[in-house]
Structure 1
Amino acid sequence: MGPSFSEQFDRFGHWRKGFAGQMAAFSDWLAAQDLLDAAVQDHLQRLEALLRGDKVCVAFVAEFSRGKSELINAVFFAHYGRRIMPASPGRTTMCPTELGYDAALPACLRLLPVETRAQPYSLTEWRSRPSTWVQLPLDVHDADQLAYAMAHVAQVRKVSVQEAQTLGFWSDAPGAENPVCDAQGMVEIPKWRHALINMAHPLLKQGLVIVDTPGLNAVGTEPELTVNLIAQAHAVVFLLAADAGVTKSDLSIWKEHLLPCHREGDAHLVVLNKIDTLWSSLDSGTEVQVQLNRQRAQSAQILEIDPARIVPLSAQKGLMAKIESNAALLKSSGLPLFEDLLAQGILAHRQTILRNVVGEGVAQLQAQVLRSIHIRQRDLDEQMLELRSLRGKNATVIENMRQRIQQEQRTFEASTAKILAVRSVHLKLMNQAFQLLGATSLRKELEQLSSALEHSGLKMGVRKVYASTFERLRGLGEQAKVAAAEIQAMLGATFKDLNAEFGFSLQLPADLQLHDFDRELANIEESYLQYLGFGHALKLANPLFGQRMVKALGMRLRAVFESAANDLDLWSKSATSQLDAQLKERKRSFARRIEAVDRINEAASGLMERIAEIESSDQQLHLLEQRLGQWMQQLLQPAEPAAQELGATEQSA
């Protein structure tokens, strides 16, 4: 039996930490060699932060009573020897629940009262208002206390139909699945709107985030949950009941909330849970397998996915088998196969992304550092030619050489005024480009859509407003590229002049690329489009729902715009950091040349000593370049064993 999901994820987390540590060591080496300019340092910090802060989100989605919480218990909490998430028969987890780890917070369960749905604030905005949440302490070493605290996510309360309608749990639409009224005309709704669990679970500390989403009502009434948390999850696990297959409400969740963000080939798995309900003394193992294969094929056909991505299992038996260390029952439960597929999907996918990002980043770093090394090499070559020309020359020639170097130095220092002027223009153009990708521009472009959704009643023409909003947002990205092209043209002309007049070797930066910006905008536009259809007309008629939708959309778009602004900033620094590096190297070179001439003037042996020093420095530069190549190989190498390990796991499975 291969390693469990927990073990595989733990290895992945150690690889990320180890690689981030290597990046820090590489940064120290560059600093020791005086090769750590602003652009290189910024690039290193971003790569290191990406590796250390990378989060992997797994969202469990299903209608009530499909066994989500039990599956979470079986995969992540079996080592406690009991259920941690509430998973008794009937409705269990009643509110969306996130499990993660933040070292700045104590171990706790935070609960957002459901009454906050009557206000237009998004979940993200409520997160910044800690006083609104009810906070309960958690003892991660006490399984019973932990389970007792977690039981709060299953709490309910009874309200009138009118209040249920205000809070989004009741609809007058034909065929709506509303909660049942009791004899007093009251209905049962969740007590909490959202739950945040912060605990130092080994996997959560490694960057895993688990999202538990209960039922169609919870998913359908929180656009921020559906199109932000679920849409951006690295893995989505959709649960069905093995004995029922795809029900009407299952299909509604799949089509309305999962299909728009469904990505073929990623870790989006469908689970046929509770296969133990088909185990019976009246049916042979072969007959049960036939039933499972039939249910699997029918579910795959209805959901229009590959049957290989539908996994039959029993979460309850898997949890029991882990607690009892029953290898035979664990295998029969199907849990190990699910954990393998989940690990392969998440880790292989994240590994590929991180390896590509790291590969591109390392290549850029190598080019930037090599440029600095080559500048030093050029200065050494010039000094060597200069010194060799002094062999056998008298004091007058040497003094003339000194005066010529000083004149070159004065001429070179005159370039600083021109460079300051260039920086002033560059800064002005960059500020204009940053404004295009700033919060003010984004807020302005969302105003029309916000106005269209704020008024009560049916929203006619809102899809047209939505489409035009995204056209304008794409236009901001294009304007930012145009602004970058203007900066590039200005720098190109300036670099050419500086190279010719003052002997620089400045290189023009490559064109600014914002591929992630365009791709993310397209993904967001598609995922939110579902809410503008006829099926959501009644929800959109409620201005509170429309406001929450726009706020959720704005939060996600803000992250995309900030990322694009960061790309623009890094592109700018990679261009201008050359000036700082070459200014520093040239100043250092002038000081060394004058020092060498003075030494030669003072003693006949000075010339040969300085030539020997330059030859030694030249050898050191070649060694430096070789060591840089070794660092590059070392930084890229750690990605391979983890990828091979995942491949080996896949083959053994």
Structure 2
Amino acid sequence: MSRSFNQQLDQHGAWRSNFAHRLQWLSRWLTENELLDQAVAERLRGLETQIRTSKVMVAFVAEFSRGKSELINAIFFAGYGRRIMPASAGRTTMCPTELGYDAAIAPKLRLLPIETRLEPHSLAHWRDKPTRWTEIAIDVGNAEHLAQAMGKVAEVRWVSKDEARTLGFWNDETPDDNPVQDAEGRVEIPRWRHAVLNMPHPLLEQGLVILDTPGLNAIGAEPELTVSLIPQAHAVVFILGAETGVTRSDLSIWREHLITEDESNDTRFVVLNKIDTMWDTLSTPAQIEQQIERQREGAARLLEVPLAQVLPVSAQKGLQAKIQHDGQLLQASRLPALETLLAEGVLGKRETMLRLAVDAGMTALRAEAERILKVRQRDLAEQALELQGLRGKNVSVIRHMRARIDQEHAEFEGSNTRILALRSVQGKLLREVYAVLGRTALKADMVKLSAALKRPGVKFNVRKVYAETFDSLRNNLREVQATTAEIQSMLHATFRQLNAEQGFTLQAPAEPDLTGFEQELAQIERSHIHYLGVGNLLKLAQADFCDKLVRALASRLRLVNEAAMTEVERWSKGASAQIDAQLKERRRNFSKRIEAIERIQSAAGSLDERLVELAAQESNLTELHVQLREFTSLIAQHGKPQPAATIGELRAA
């Protein structure tokens, strides 16, 4: 039997935890040996945060009554011995629901009222407004209580058609998509706009985030889901009914919300659920298999995905089998095959990305720490030559040597004006970067886009409107890239002068490459254009829809700009940290030279003793150099780590 998704996620979590422990150990070792300058510390903190907080989001998307919540129960919550997500007949999940864990927050279910749609703010905005959410404390150890709390996501309200229209659940232009009215003309809508469950479930503690989304009507009323939240998921599981195959509403969800132009679909998985409805006692197993294969092939063809990514499953039987520990029924449900595909497709890629980040980080960290060691080795060599020159010299010569060191020290401290000037110009240019990528500039671009989208008439020129906006955003990044090039040129020139004048070994860090952020912008632009080009173009006639679309876009663009600014800031700090480290080492060198002369003058130690001390220090630096390479190589190794043994190796070394 294949390892379950749960088992593989546990292993992934242990792998991440082990890496984080290694990084903490390395940080302590670097601190003890005074190798943890600002640049090295910043890089370690970044790596540790990335490893510890890295999330794996899996989005489950389906039209109503496809068994989506039951599939979530079967994969993630069978250990409770009962259903946790509401999965009764009919509509269950009425609002998008996120399941995750943050140790800094008490276990609870947070529910955002549907009325917040009447206010001009995105979901991202409401996340930071706790007073607007309804909170329900949960008892994680009580399955009945937890399931009862999760039942809240299925709550509805019955409202007039006008109120439904205002809240985005009724559109006169697309009557076929509107919900059915009751005898009094009322419409059923979700009570909640969004739900967030925070609970210390073993899988969620490992960084898994589950996004459970409602059907077409509810998704369409929240464009932020399509253009922001779902695209950020590492995998999307699209659930169909095995007995019905791809229906018209299924196809609408797939085309409007789950695919974009030029996008690789290797993280889009299609589940043909409820295959147990085909377990007909009047049909032979071979005939049943043929029926399932026909449905698989039809779904793969209509959705244009590889056949291998269309998996037949019975979530209900899989859940039952896990609870009853029935291995034969579990295999018949075919749930393990889906779990394996999810684990390999999602966790495998995520782990590879983290490994590459660790490798790159260790290489850069090693180079920065080695630079400090080389400076110390050079200073020790200079001290040794200086002291050897005192052999056989009288007191006046030694006194003159002390005066010369004091003079060199004073000249050194007085020659830092160039460094101050560099930092002043560097700070000014960085402020320009923040102005270009900051919230004020982004808001101005979004105001222009909103005005263009709200112009009267059908927006057949929407591609041009978006192109103009994204051209402006790309130009902002290119302007920042030009500014970093200017800073880089200045750093090269100043570092050459300081190296020549002060004997430093400064080397400007590689200039940040912002082309990756331009590629992110291109992906976001494509997702919006695709979304508007598959039936949602007419919705632009609604000012409220335009506002929602622009707010969703702004939330996502803000993340891109902030990430770009963080990259530039990290690069700038790296350059400054080099200067600080070498200033610190030079001052340490002056102190050591003065201390050596004073000891010789006061007869507290002989010249030979001091030279022996310097030789011992040189040997220690050589050993530190070897250990640095060993430890960083051990942390960055690609084999599956064995936590206890690996940390033991580090400590033993």
- TM-score bracket for the superposition, by shorter chain length: over 0.9
- Per-residue CA deviation, residues 153-208 of structure 1 (Å, 9 max, x unaligned), is 11222222222222222222356322222222222222222211121211112211
Structure 2 match to 1:648: none
Q: CA RMSD for the aligned pairs? A: 2.0
Q: Normalised by the size of structure 1, how large is the TM-score?
A: 0.95
- Per-residue CA deviation, residues 359-397 of structure 1 (Å, 9 max, x unaligned), is 111111111111111110111111122222233333343
Structure 2 match to 1:292: 292
Alignment of 1:388-403 (within 5 A): 388-403=388-403
Deviation at 1:434, TM superposition (A): 2.2
Deviation at 1:537, TM superposition (A): 2.8
Q: Does 2:591 correspond to 1:595?
A: no
SS in 2 for 1:12: helix
Aligned residue type for 1:571: W
- Per-residue CA deviation, residues 286-308 of structure 1 (Å, 9 max, x unaligned), is 11111111111111111111100
Indicate conservation of the 8 Å contact 2:15/2:641, yes or no.
no
Aligned residue type for 1:244: T
Aligned residue type for 1:554: A
Deviation at 1:261, TM superposition (A): 7.8
Alignment of 1:55-454 (within 5 A): 55-173=55-173, 176-260=176-260, 263-264=263-264, 266-454=266-454
In the alignment, the residues of structure 2 paired with residue 234 and residue 175 of structure 1 have an alpha-carbon distance, to the nearest angstrom, of 34
Of all paired residues, the percent bearing the same amino acid is 54
Structure 2 match to 1:651: none
In the alignment, the residues of structure 1 paired with residue 204 and residue 84 of structure 2 have an alpha-carbon distance, to the nearest angstrom, of 15
Q: Normalised by the size of structure 2, how large is the TM-score?
A: 0.95
Indicate conservation of the 8 Å contact 2:255/2:534, yes or no.
no
Indicate conservation of the 8 Å contact 1:351/1:639, yes or no.
no
In the alignment, the residues of structure 1 paired with residue 440 and residue 184 of structure 2 have an alpha-carbon distance, to the nearest angstrom, of 50
SS in 2 for 1:509: coil
- Per-residue CA deviation, residues 570-594 of structure 1 (Å, 9 max, x unaligned), is 1011111111111111111112112
In the alignment, the residues of structure 1 paired with residue 451 and residue 156 of structure 2 have an alpha-carbon distance, to the nearest angstrom, of 35
Stretches of structure 2 that go unaligned for 5 or more consecutive residues are 643-653
Indicate conservation of the 8 Å contact 1:453/1:540, yes or no.
yes
In the alignment, the residues of structure 2 paired with residue 456 and residue 158 of structure 1 have an alpha-carbon distance, to the nearest angstrom, of 33
SS in 2 for 1:587: helix
Alignment of 1:543-582 (within 5 A): 543-582=543-582
Deviation at 1:489, TM superposition (A): 1.4
Structure 2 match to 1:503: 503
SS in 2 for 1:237: strand
In the alignment, the residues of structure 1 paired with residue 620 and residue 420 of structure 2 have an alpha-carbon distance, to the nearest angstrom, of 33
Aligned residue type for 2:4: S
In the alignment, the residues of structure 1 paired with residue 605 and residue 231 of structure 2 have an alpha-carbon distance, to the nearest angstrom, of 73
In the alignment, the residues of structure 2 paired with residue 464 and residue 400 of structure 1 have an alpha-carbon distance, to the nearest angstrom, of 76
Aligned residue type for 2:340: D
Aligned residue type for 1:608: D
In the alignment, the residues of structure 2 paired with residue 358 and residue 612 of structure 1 have an alpha-carbon distance, to the nearest angstrom, of 39
Greater shift in the superposed pair: 520-529 or 314-323: 520-529
In the alignment, the residues of structure 2 paired with residue 224 and residue 332 of structure 1 have an alpha-carbon distance, to the nearest angstrom, of 38
Greater shift in the superposed pair: 326-335 or 633-642: 633-642
Greater shift in the superposed pair: 431-440 or 208-217: 431-440
Q: 1:29 to 1:605 in 2, by over 3 A?
A: closer
SS in 2 for 1:290: helix
In the alignment, the residues of structure 2 paired with residue 534 and residue 357 of structure 1 have an alpha-carbon distance, to the nearest angstrom, of 37
Structure 2 match to 1:33: 33
- Per-residue CA deviation, residues 14-37 of structure 1 (Å, 9 max, x unaligned), is 221221122122111111111111
Aligned residues: 643
Indicate conservation of the 8 Å contact 1:159/1:189, yes or no.
yes
Greater shift in the superposed pair: 629-638 or 254-263: 254-263
In the alignment, the residues of structure 1 paired with residue 117 and residue 279 of structure 2 have an alpha-carbon distance, to the nearest angstrom, of 43
Aligned residue type for 2:288: V
Indicate conservation of the 8 Å contact 2:18/2:641, yes or no.
no
Aligned residue type for 2:236: V
- Per-residue CA deviation, residues 254-282 of structure 1 (Å, 9 max, x unaligned), is 11111118853643211011110111111
SS in 1 for 2:197: strand
Structure 2 match to 1:536: 536
- Per-residue CA deviation, residues 116-144 of structure 1 (Å, 9 max, x unaligned), is 32332211222233333222222211111
Q: 1:56 to 1:534 in 2, by over 3 A?
A: closer
Deviation at 1:533, TM superposition (A): 2.7
SS in 2 for 1:18: helix
Greater shift in the superposed pair: 97-106 or 607-616: 97-106
Greater shift in the superposed pair: 564-573 or 422-431: 422-431
SS in 2 for 1:231: helix
Deviation at 1:602, TM superposition (A): 4.2
Q: Does 2:621 correspond to 1:621?
A: yes
In the alignment, the residues of structure 1 paired with residue 9 and residue 403 of structure 2 have an alpha-carbon distance, to the nearest angstrom, of 66
Aligned residue type for 2:500: A
Deviation at 1:605, TM superposition (A): 6.4
- Per-residue CA deviation, residues 213-255 of structure 1 (Å, 9 max, x unaligned), is 1111122221111121110001100011111111111111111
SS in 2 for 1:110: strand
Indicate conservation of the 8 Å contact 1:58/1:234, yes or no.
yes
Deviation at 1:639, TM superposition (A): 6.0
Aligned residue type for 1:421: A
Aligned residue type for 1:103: A
Aligned residue type for 1:387: L
Stretches of structure 1 that go unaligned for 5 or more consecutive residues are 643-653
Structure 1 match to 2:651: none
Q: 1:117 to 1:639 in 2, by over 3 A?
A: farther
- Per-residue CA deviation, residues 488-521 of structure 1 (Å, 9 max, x unaligned), is 1112221222222222221122222123312211
Structure 2 match to 1:645: none
Indicate conservation of the 8 Å contact 2:454/2:540, yes or no.
no
Structure 2 match to 1:6: 6
Deviation at 1:90, TM superposition (A): 1.6
- Per-residue CA deviation, residues 517-538 of structure 1 (Å, 9 max, x unaligned), is 1221111111111243372133
Greater shift in the superposed pair: 216-225 or 230-239: 216-225
Aligned residue type for 1:156: V
- Per-residue CA deviation, residues 436-459 of structure 1 (Å, 9 max, x unaligned), is 221122112222102223467644
Greater shift in the superposed pair: 463-472 or 54-63: 463-472
Q: 1:456 to 1:222 in 2, by over 3 A?
A: farther
In the alignment, the residues of structure 2 paired with residue 592 and residue 113 of structure 1 have an alpha-carbon distance, to the nearest angstrom, of 67
Indicate conservation of the 8 Å contact 1:239/1:273, yes or no.
yes
